[in-house]
Amino acid sequence: MRLLASLHESADRAGVVVTPHGSLSRHELLGRAAGVAASIAGAPIVAVEAVPALSTIVTVTGALLAGVPIVPVPPDAGVSEREHILRDSGATLLPAGLAAASAATVPAEPAPSTAALVLYTSGTTGPPKGVVISRAAIAAGLDALAGAWQWTAEDTLVHGLPLHHVHGLVLGVLGPLRLGSGLAHTVKPTPAAYASTPGTMYFGVPTVWSRIAADPAAARALAPARLLVSGSAPLPVPVFDALAALTGQSPVERYGMTETLITVSARADGERRPGHVGTPLPGITTRLVDEAGAVLPTDGETIGHLQVKGPTLLDGYLHGGDVRPPDLVDGWFPTGDVATVDPGGWHRIVGRASTDLIKTGGYRVGAGEVEDTLLRHPAVHEAAVVGVPHPDLGEQITAFVVADPVGAAELIDFVAGRLAVHKRPRVVHLVDSLPRNAMGKVQKGLLTTD
């Protein structure tokens, strides 16, 4: 089966891909992408500046038709980051808005094991790493989501997410091209853009959904949709609750990362629990282990390091033209995240082991639980919780909060009255804003008490 199966169907639909600046039917997209494929045939690897435009979608589609791995370069990448990506991958950067002539001949489908994308992802240390993802992994991931979300050709997906991440590119562009649904890309994921663009499915990150929840008129405009999907970071429970109240439906959360694609999700026709990301998708298995690698119980309480196994895993990391296999643990991929899993398989992501698992006074505390509680205070708009080294406690729970006028002591007491007292922040810093990356994730490493 072809990776971009719906592009090759004989039936056509006007406006399969729509942006504020134009649209392409299935036939037009296939013709233009085939022209790109012909122009880059035989290239070892190429790169594209992943601007939010039809040109990026055409170029990525063309590379996939040609079987040439493609590197989407973030359009806001600084000079050093751009140079690193191009040097590390060895990719040739294609001209901006590459406009190859349409071609009638479509190349033969490459082997499923062929590398499709090289997505650069930032780790906690060092420069970004090039994650090599095969055609087979993308197909397996999208097909699993099609079942979980009842995603069909009758859907129209709306989003304005960047086109250089799994969320915006793999799910948000390749998903429609494989499954046949329409795509309306709003360029920016603003409440006004989403509210004015009709669709049946909407994709967003927590920052997007938080802003929509704060705009009741925009949120109510999404009520006719059948699925609101949140990912890339945990969705705060207050935002989950607000969306449910304003739209009449709870959002669907899912979990994944660049190296694994999407592995866990709530279902379109199933339960949706605030603070949880669902159960493993078909073909995916997960487990929790402790620091020594011993398997932990799935009792809904025990926090452990999350490992996953399945057909959506990366091939490896690209470096100097070679692909270094990932460091698996008996076939399991260590995600670097910590989580709880209940007896029914429901996963709650505590956060990154390096920043969100706080060991304080002999207790293990998940930063997300404290953040969600702080967000329930009427004065609080944003919250980030970290562990700061402490001579007595080991780590001290410390909160950075964006809020209307409120005292730090009041926020500490607010948490202590709703969670176990050892989970309260010992220190609260009131700040003007939290540092975030392009996907809206808080960059906790940039938080400072100085």
DSSP class per residue in 85-147: HHHHH-PEEPPTT--PPP-SPPPPPPPTTSEEEEEEE--SSSS-EEEEEEHHHHHHHHHHHHH
At residue 240, the pLDDT reads: 95
At residue 151, the pLDDT reads: 97
Query: What residues contact residue 294 under an 8 Å CB cut-off, 6+ apart?
Result: none
Residue 230 CB neighbour total at 10 angstroms:
26
Question: Residue type for 231, please?
Answer: G
CA 282 to chain centre: 19
- Bridge partners, residue 132, by sequence: 118, 316
Q: Is 108 exposed, middle or buried (0-12, 13-18, 19+ CB in 10 A)?
A: exposed
Q: Cα–Cα distance between 225 and 197 in angstroms, integer? A: 11
Query: What residues contact residue 263 under an 8 Å CB cut-off, 6+ apart?
Result: 255, 256, 280, 281, 284, 286, 308, 310, 312
Q: What is the pLDDT of residues 40-90, one digit of tens each?
A: 999 999 999 999 999 999 999 999 999 999 999 989 887 878 898 999 999
Q: Cα–Cα distance between 405 and 204 in angstroms, integer? A: 29
What is the token pair recorded at 55?
A: 């040109």
At residue 125, the pLDDT reads: 52
Per-residue pLDDT of the chain (450 residues; tens, 9 = 90+): 799 999 888 666 666 899 998 999 999 999 999 999 999 999 999 999 999 999 999 999 999 999 999 999 989 887 878 898 999 999 999 987 777 778 888 999 999 999 999 999 865 456 789 999 999 999 999 999 999 999 999 999 999 999 999 999 999 999 999 999 999 999 999 999 999 999 999 999 888 998 999 999 999 999 999 999 999 888 888 899 999 999 999 999 999 999 999 999 999 999 999 999 999 999 999 999 998 999 999 999 999 999 999 999 999 999 877 899 999 999 999 999 999 999 999 999 988 887 788 888 777 788 888 998 899 999 999 999 998 988 878 889 999 999 999 999 999 999 988 887 889 999 999 999 999 876 677 888 888 766
Which of helix, strand or coil describes residue 357?
strand
At residue 424, the pLDDT reads: 92
At residue 442, the pLDDT reads: 85
Q: Which of 374, 439, 444 is nearest to 207 (CA)?
A: 439
What is the token pair recorded at 415?
A: 């948490």
Q: Is 140 exposed, middle or buried (0-12, 13-18, 19+ CB in 10 A)?
A: buried
Q: Cα–Cα distance between 54 and 67 in angstroms, integer? A: 20
At residue 126, the pLDDT reads: 63
Q: Cα–Cα–Cα angle for 56, 61, 64, nearest 5°?
A: 130
Q: Cα–Cα distance between 170 and 141 in angstroms, integer? A: 9
At residue 10, the pLDDT reads: 63
At residue 122, the pLDDT reads: 67
In this prediction the pTM is 0.86
Q: Cα–Cα distance between 118 and 259 in angstroms, integer? A: 10
Q: In what order do the strands lie in the sheet with 347-352?
A: 285-289, 304-309, 333-341, 347-352
Q: Which of 266, 329, 60 is nearest to 168 (CA)?
A: 60
DSSP 295: B
Q: Cα–Cα distance between 185 and 188 in angstroms, integer? A: 8
Q: What is the pLDDT of residues 26-39, one digit of tens each?
A: 999 999 999 999 99
At residue 13, the pLDDT reads: 67
Query: What residues contact residue 421 under an 8 Å CB cut-off, 6+ apart?
Result: none
Under 8 Å between Cβ of 398 and 385: yes
Q: Report all structural domains of the chain as residue ranges with CATH numbers, in order of start.
A: 5-351 (3.40.50.12780), 355-446 (3.30.300.30)
Residue 79 CB neighbour total at 10 angstroms:
7
At residue 354, the pLDDT reads: 77
Pairing of strands 227-230, 252-257: parallel
At residue 12, the pLDDT reads: 66
At residue 123, the pLDDT reads: 55
Which of helix, strand or coil describes residue 403?
strand
| Phi-psi region at 261: left, alpha or beta (left = phi > 0; alpha = psi -120 to 50) | left
Under 8 Å between Cβ of 383 and 399: yes
User: 289-321 as b/e, with b when 16 or more CB fall inside 10 Å?
Assistant: beeeeeeeebeeeebbbbbbbbbbbbbbbbeee
Q: Cα–Cα distance between 70 and 94 in angstroms, integer? A: 10
Q: In what order do the strands lie in the sheet with 427-430?
A: 380-390, 394-403, 427-430
